[in-house]
Chain A
Amino acid sequence: MDTGDKVWEVFVQKKGGQPFKHAGSCHGYDKKMAIQNARDLYTRRGEGRALWVVPADAIVSVPFDEEDAYFDPGDDKVYRHATFYKIPDGVNYL
């Protein structure tokens, strides 16, 4: 059995077929405790029918202090959006 407290990220699916959404985090010593704790913290009021827990350290995120380098260059390049095309008549779904 795993020992040591860990943080887990919790994802809840409202109904079958819908995406899992991040709901928050919880503590747990192992998978079993984590999923039970997540159930008690995040699905008490009918929030969902399915649950994922993922060890928080398994999630890779952009370092906070490199936020500018990662995301700012995308801010002023409107031409990267496909909004400069003329949509031909008769195309209903684009």
Chain B
Amino acid sequence: MKISIEKSEARFLLRLADTSTILGQRLAEMCSRGPILEEDIALSNISLDLFGRAEELYKLICTIENASYSPDDLVFRRNEREYFNLKLVEQPNDDFAWVIARQFMHDIYAKAVFSQLVNSKNSELAGLAAKVLKEIKYSYIHSKDWMERLGLGTEESNTRLQRAVDHLMKYVEEIFMFDAVDQENLADCALIHTTWENDFNQTLAACNLVRKPVMPLTMRDYRDGFHSEHLGTMLSVMQYLPRAYPDAKW
């Protein structure tokens, strides 16, 4: 299926929607694998919030593009190179520390982005952003809390969280390489970057973690549909059923 998305606003929202979908899917993979029952449910709740957010964003995109495709088509009938999520959120659930570090890095970013979208000229988007912001604030409380618990917990928990942060830092730089589409749709891109840096650095320091320099990378931008090795296998699982049985109904 050929899905083309042309308008600047739709292209911008697709990045947010895909980021929500992929992170939601990663958290859904944690269902029944949380460290304790309560945390298992907490992660599933956040996953559902992300899917709900993605669906609303996809609907907005379909409206803006006056599209013949549906949100389901966008999720299940696009290939890896047609996905525009942050590479950060497709990183696997290696252990619980990875889940938490990835979530925290995402949450400070998402909080900064949606705080600006609350003032969008598109009233539907502004309304959605206000609702979404409440969800993100809770998710942020939750992920920051676990950063502290793991960072200040035992030697083992600190080591694991540090390892997760070290790995995930590679995927942070691209988040702030804003392009024209970002500039057109966000009031203040630079503010998103500084807010993120401040919060992240303060939290690392408070949690007894260090930020190591990242080697220069040759990875290409998620905005052009480039990904790490993980997205393809993820999509093949996520899209298997509707691809194999295109007329399946439930």
Classify chain A: how many residues form its interface, as a range. 10 to 19
B241 at the interface (CB under 8 A from A): no
B137-170 interface code vs A (CB 8 A; 1 in, 0 out): 0000110010001001000000000000000000
- Complex CA gap A28/B146 in Å reads 13
Interface string of A25-69 (1 = CB under 8 A from B): 011110011001100110010000000000000000000000000
In Å, the complex CA distance between A36 and B45 comes to 12
**Pairwise interchain contact A41-B152, C-beta atoms closer than 8 A:** no
Chain B residues closer than 8 Å to A1, beta-carbon distance: 149, 152
Q: How far is the CB of A20 from chain B (nearest CB, A)?
A: 20
For the complex formed, measure the closest distance between the CB of A51 and the CB atoms of chain B, giving whole angstroms.
Answer: 13
- Note all chain A residues with C-beta closer than 8 A to B42: 36-37, 40
In the assembled complex, B41 has its CB within 8 A of some CB on chain A = yes
Q: Which residues of B contact A26 (CB under 8 A)?
A: 38
- B56 part of interface (Cβ distance < 8 Å): no
In B33-48, the 8 Å CB interface with A consists of 36-39, 41-42, 45
A24 CB, min distance to chain B CBs, angstroms: 11
CB distance from B135 to the nearest CB of A (A): 12
How large, as a class, is the contact surface on chain B?
Answer: 10 to 19
- Which residue in chain A gives the minimum CB-CB distance to B45? A40
A37–B38 contact, CB under 8 A? yes
B38 touches A40 (CB 8 A): yes
- What's the least CB distance linking B139 to chain A, in Å? 11
Check A36 against B41 for contact (C-beta < 8 Å): no
- Verify B142–A27 contact, CB threshold 8 A: no
Chain A: minimal CB distance from B119 (Å): 28
Complex CA gap A40/B41 in Å reads 7
Residue of B nearest to A29 (CB): B149
Interchain CB contact (< 8 A) of B36 among A27, A32, A36, A44: A27
User: Which chain A residue has the least Cβ–Cβ distance from B46?
Assistant: A40
Given contacts A1-B152, A37-B42, A40-B45, contact A27 B37 (CB under 8 A): yes
Q: How far is the CB of B114 from chain A (nearest CB, A)?
A: 21
Closest A residue by C-beta to B142: A36
Residues from chain A with a CB closer than 8 A to the CB of B152 are 1
Indicate if the CB atoms of B37 and A32 lie closer than 8 Å: no
Residue in B38, B45, B141 whose CB lies within 8 Å of A28: B38
- Say how far A87's CB is from chain B's closest CB, in angstroms: 51
* A-binding residues in B (CB < 8 A): 36-39, 41-42, 45, 141-142, 145, 149, 152
Given contacts A29-B149, A32-B145, 20 further A-B contacts (CB under 8 A): A1-B149, A1-B152, A5-B36, A26-B38, A27-B36, A27-B37, A27-B38, A28-B38, A33-B145, A33-B149, A36-B42, A36-B141, A36-B142, A36-B145, A37-B38, A40-B38, A40-B41, A40-B42, A40-B45, A41-B41
19 residue pairs A–B, Cβ–Cβ below 8 Å: A1-B149, A1-B152, A26-B38, A27-B36, A27-B37, A27-B38, A29-B149, A32-B145, A36-B42, A36-B141, A36-B142, A37-B39, A37-B42, A40-B38, A40-B41, A40-B45, A41-B38, A41-B41, A44-B45
Q: Can you list the 7 inter-chain pairs with the closest CB atoms, starting with the nearest?
A: A37-B38, A40-B42, A40-B41, A40-B45, A26-B38, A27-B38, A41-B41
